[in-house]
Structure 1
């Protein structure tokens, strides 16, 4: 996450540089401004763009100082170039994440005049920061080239230090989805690697080769990581689609079973209804037949006994004579 303690020499170095560019304010007032800048560089959301990065940039400026017109102007521009920082989601997706030299320039224009720094010097410091906005220093502006190169000098670090740099940059954007971060980081690295020269100032040319090696190594690593992530997401998507298809098939089978059950129940109901209808028709026919026989008997009674009836009547009279009944009409027991 960077340094936890401020080196004792840092704020005195700021005071010396501010006085060297024409400040008229007292030491304590300049120290107060320097202390506020240090606190900005030490904000807890910084991992790479922290106080250690400022110190590294100042050290790189010292290496390039011989080719600058005014090294102290470049140093004070370095103090302000990353004083304003944002890595929140909204800012990152607006492509304004990380150090914000433009806001740093506004801060310099507000604070340095109060320290008595001449207006033209303040304007020059702001201009250097504005050129850092896209790391595109003017071809003939050696001070701007030195400042931009000093800011990118970490790209040429040894492999272990570069790996730490990579981890710290990722930590600053830990709240961004992995795929989104990888795509954005790859785009930045490709843009840097596509330059004919990463570093512009003459004395920074020794950094070119190690920086390119680090960029290529990181690109290979991030592209592989992104490919694995995309494959995992694709596999997960296929699993989800298969699960959805299986669930849909289960629901369709259940619905088909319910339909078949309903159809079977309907057929059984129709059969039962048909059976009841047949029974009712049979019963009705039976009632009709019985009623017909009843009407026949009634007509015969109305006409009187026929030959068979008269024979039956005679037989009945003989039986009555042979078997007398009691007054209640019951036969006697023998």
Structure 2
């Protein structure tokens, strides 16, 4: 899905949200910023964290927006939350994924203020983006909860779509050796399941059970795969030793 494949409503929606947040820039400047963001979301190294993911997050925000105090700021944060992306090894091994929330937050503040959005609103969007580093929002901060829940909602999709999501995530980190990727993914899944609740906002509670079922099934499969990989690695030295002895 490239920039030209973007749904027709995306740029007008971004423009409306910027204006609702207090932006004063001409419509042309707002559209130019939207186009820049779309170009970021459609770069070829993005297999999951791409335009489809942005649209999905915005759609989930729509499902939860009656709970939000400032839904326009939540939607702007959704636009910026993965704007800066890099699936390089150092980020993957840090278990942060490719989304650079810190850099994306800085970009959000700079670009929104350049569009005339008041500093307090631009900073609030940046803070919402930064909160996605931990995905553990304060339950009293409902806007943050809505954004975090919308971003994690893919965990609760039907099994076939969840499988497609896993294939896309693996494609983003295809440069990682299988065992390294599986180990990192297992750690992430254990952390998710250790949470008292994956979702915080009241309307998102319906996603809790299907998400846990998907995550648990994936963890079970990956732990079996990891055991096989470890067994194969342990067998290699002895096999090599036998070959040397035979020689």
Q: TM (normalized to structure 1)?
A: 0.72
**Alpha-carbon distance in 2 for matches of 1:86, 1:36:** 17
**Alpha-carbon distance in 1 for matches of 2:33, 2:57:** 19
Write the mapping of 1:166-315 to structure 2, written as runs, cut at 5 A. Answer: 166-247=166-247
Extract unaligned runs of 5+ from structure 2.
none
**Alpha-carbon distance in 2 for matches of 1:216, 1:207:** 14
Change in CA separation of 1:237 and 1:2 when aligned onto 2, cut-off 3 Å? farther
Match of 1:307 in 2: none
Please state how far the C-alpha of 1:128 moved relative to its aligned partner.
Answer: 0.8
Match of 1:110 in 2: 110
Match of 2:11 in 1: 11
Please state how far the C-alpha of 1:109 moved relative to its aligned partner.
Answer: 1.5
The answer to whether the Cα contact below 8 Å between 1:2 and 1:48 also exists between their aligned partners in 2 is no
Change in CA separation of 1:223 and 1:176 when aligned onto 2, cut-off 3 Å? same
Change in CA separation of 1:3 and 1:242 when aligned onto 2, cut-off 3 Å? farther
1:219-240, Cα deviation, whole Å (9 max, x unpaired): 0111111111122222222211
Pairing 1:43–2:60 present: no
SS state at 1:121 partner? helix
Extract unaligned runs of 5+ from structure 1.
248-334
Change in CA separation of 1:96 and 1:195 when aligned onto 2, cut-off 3 Å? closer
1:169-224, Cα deviation, whole Å (9 max, x unpaired): 11111100111100000000110011110000111000000000000110011111
**Alpha-carbon distance in 2 for matches of 1:178, 1:229:** 9
Match of 1:91 in 2: 91
- How many residue pairs match? The answer is 247
SS state at 1:15 partner? helix
Change in CA separation of 1:2 and 1:219 when aligned onto 2, cut-off 3 Å? farther
**Alpha-carbon distance in 1 for matches of 2:238, 2:171:** 31
**Alpha-carbon distance in 2 for matches of 1:4, 1:238:** 55
Which structure features the higher share of helix residues?
Answer: 1
Match of 1:276 in 2: none
Match of 1:164 in 2: 164
**Alpha-carbon distance in 1 for matches of 2:2, 2:210:** 23
**Alpha-carbon distance in 2 for matches of 1:202, 1:214:** 20
**Alpha-carbon distance in 1 for matches of 2:63, 2:46:** 25
SS state at 1:49 partner? coil
**Alpha-carbon distance in 1 for matches of 2:184, 2:99:** 16
Write the mapping of 1:125-136 to structure 2, written as runs, cut at 5 A. Answer: 125-136=125-136
Pairing 1:155–2:133 present: no
The answer to whether the Cα contact below 8 Å between 2:3 and 2:39 also exists between their aligned partners in 1 is no
Determine which structure has more spread, i.e. the larger CA radius of gyration: 1
**Alpha-carbon distance in 2 for matches of 1:24, 1:2:** 29
Please state how far the C-alpha of 1:2 moved relative to its aligned partner.
Answer: 8.2
The answer to whether the Cα contact below 8 Å between 2:139 and 2:201 also exists between their aligned partners in 1 is no
Please state how far the C-alpha of 1:89 moved relative to its aligned partner.
Answer: 1.5
